[in-house]
Amino acid sequence: MAINTNSVFFCVFVTVVGFFFLFHLPQSCNAHPLKICDFDEIYQLGDSISDTGNLIREAPIGAALPFGRLPYGQNFFNNATGRCSNGLLMIDYFALASGLPYLNPYKNIEADFRHGVNFAVAGSTALSTLKLAAKNISSPVTASSLNVQLDWMSTHFKSTCHNNRDCVEKLKKSLFMVGEIGGNDYNYALFQRKSIEEVKTIVPNVVHAIKDAVRKVIHHGAIRVIVPGNFPIGCFPIYLTGFKTDDSAAYDEHYCLKALNDFSIYHNDHLQRAIEELKQEHPNAVIVYGDYYNSFKWLFQNAPYLGFNASTAQKACCGTGGDYNFDMTRMCGAPDVPVCAESNKFISWDGVHLTQEAYKFMAGKLIHDIFPQLQCIV
């Protein structure tokens, strides 16, 4: 169903009573869950979970990426926009919930940035490529790490604000999303065969980079900041395929890899402690943890009640091969890689990223949980 963002409101209402869930799809109505916050703009830093078109505009790699062509985007836009999904992302639903248009990517120089900017780049990392290289971790997709995105943000504000005081005043009614970021630092390390214990050693560095990013956006004038954590990566087809084992003890009751999920919890625990420290440093700012881990687990564990096919909960819609429809050497967008007929029945789109349907439910759960913490009603 196509949505006219100039006139259509987005309603999210999640009710949990036992195992019954009601989620209202995008439709015409008079209530925006985040409209009470009266946001004028949204600013996004991050990676492929939230990139709306920056990576595909980065030469020379952008033109060759599958995210810039069908089947990406096929189930909403009817063409690819650079989003790593078959349609909308969570940031799109956050914008709709705020009564705002979708965020345009910073690299689209002809775009309208009156309601915010998306600086996120698919494949980006929290640590710079140089810092990762010093730890013998290569970053093969992009050099536009978190510090680069922060530089873009600074450049943007210099062009739109007369001075820092002017920016502080203008950004009082803005929402800042710092992440999800850091997932690729770990993805690259783990698939370059670093052990989980080795990768744990970079968690403090990653969290410090995120913490420093929050400080910088607050310096620009941010008052409300959401800092998302990492997903339970042990439930994703890419990891279930790459780290498949015959050891049944390695899996939990949902057949997710326990050690990888425990690693995500390890990162998220460090991040939440950093957020508490930031709250002490900046008592006038509202800094909220975005619980991607438990929002995904809620979605995953209740998939049948939300309309997903239980038999495909861990399979990619767009992909081929093995138990999870995923092959690292023949991923979604490659020639002759099939796409499922009913993407709304799948949680995973391409084995790495989620479908629009999954992002819709996750966004609804997050908005439901985060809204009271944003302190929009005094």
Q: What is the pLDDT of residue 5?
A: 35
Q: Please, are residues 179 and 228 in contact by the beta-carbon 8 Å criterion?
A: yes
Given a cut of 60, whether residue 24 has pLDDT beyond it is: no
Structure tokens belonging to residue 151: 């530089």
Q: What is the pLDDT of residues 342-359, one digit of tens each?
A: 999 999 999 999 999 999
Catalytic residue among 47, 48, 92, 348: 48
Please say if 350 is a catalytic residue.
yes
Given a cut of 50, whether residue 79 has pLDDT beyond it is: yes
Question: Which residues are 20's β-sheet partners?
Answer: 17
Q: What is the pLDDT of residue 112?
A: 95
Catalytic residue among 32, 115, 270, 353: 353
Q: What is the pLDDT of residue 164?
A: 83
Above pLDDT 70, what percent of the chain?
91
User: In the predicted model, what is the mean pLDDT of the chain?
Assistant: 91
Q: What is the pLDDT of residue 378?
A: 56
Distant-in-sequence, close-in-space partners of 363: CB < 8 Å, separation ≥ 6: 12, 90, 93, 94, 97
CA-nearest of 334, 121, 361, 354 to 238 is 354
Strand order in the sheet with 41-45: 116-118, 41-45, 174-178, 224-228, 286-290
Please say if 353 is a catalytic residue.
yes
Catalogue all structural domains in the chain, each as residue range(s) with its CATH number. Answer: 32-374 (3.40.50.1110)
Q: What is the DSSP letter of 287?
A: E
Please say if 348 is a catalytic residue.
no
Q: Which secondary-structure segment (H or E) carries 276?
A: helix 258-281
Q: How confident is the model at residue 165 (pLDDT cuts 50, 70, 90)?
A: confident
Q: How far apart are alpha carbons 99 and 31 in whole angstroms?
A: 9
Given a cut of 60, whether residue 146 has pLDDT beyond it is: yes
CA quadruple 42, 47, 51, 57: dihedral positive or negative?
positive
Given a cut of 60, whether residue 22 has pLDDT beyond it is: no
Q: What is the pLDDT of residue 326?
A: 97
Q: What is the pLDDT of residue 1?
A: 36
Q: How confident is the model at residue 166 (pLDDT cuts 50, 70, 90)?
A: confident
3-state secondary structure 129-162: HHHHHHCCCCCCCCCCCHHHHHHHHHHHHHHHCC
Q: What is the pLDDT of residues 230-254, one digit of tens each?
A: 999 999 999 999 999 999 999 999 9
Average pLDDT, stretch 255-283?
98
Given a cut of 50, whether residue 28 has pLDDT beyond it is: no
Average pLDDT, stretch 183-192?
98
